[in-house]
Amino acid sequence: DVKVTQSSRYLVKRTGEKVFLECVQDMDHENMFWYRQDPGLGLRLIYFSYDVKMKEKGDIPEGYSVSREKKERFSLILESASTNQTSMYLCASSLLPRTGGTEAFFGQGTRLTVV
């Protein structure tokens, strides 16, 4: 079974703090994604990466950065957390469709609260 593991289920951080959300997948997938889920807004793509050290902005990259130094790990960084970044954060991974991949597999999510 594909496993995508997010380092924390729940986090509470203070405004202005630098926050790291970690995600690890064990299936050698090329693609990795970070989404946030908010009520009434669905899943919105923040950043994705199709290879080590490669990243692409999604629909809402402002206030976030990412790091992919190893294939299995994709980190989301909130440089200076703000209350409007309180959300459920979801990491996902998938194979490249060109190599037979189709669906993305998600981690369990990290509920981040910024106070």
Q: Which residues bind other proteins (CB under 8 A)?
A: 4, 31, 33, 35, 40-45, 48, 50, 56, 58-59, 90, 92, 94, 96-98, 102-109, 111
Query: Of 45 and 77, which CB lies nearer to other proteins in the complex structure?
Result: 45
| Nearest-approach distance from CB 115 to other proteins, in angstroms | 20
Q: Whose structure tokens read 């037979």? A: 100
Whose Cβ is closer to other proteins: residue 17's or residue 56's? 56
C-alpha of 10 from chain center:
14
Assigned token pair, 53 = 């050290």
Distance of CA 79 to the CA centre of its chain: 14
Going by the DSSP 8-state scheme, the letter that residue 95 receives in this structure is -
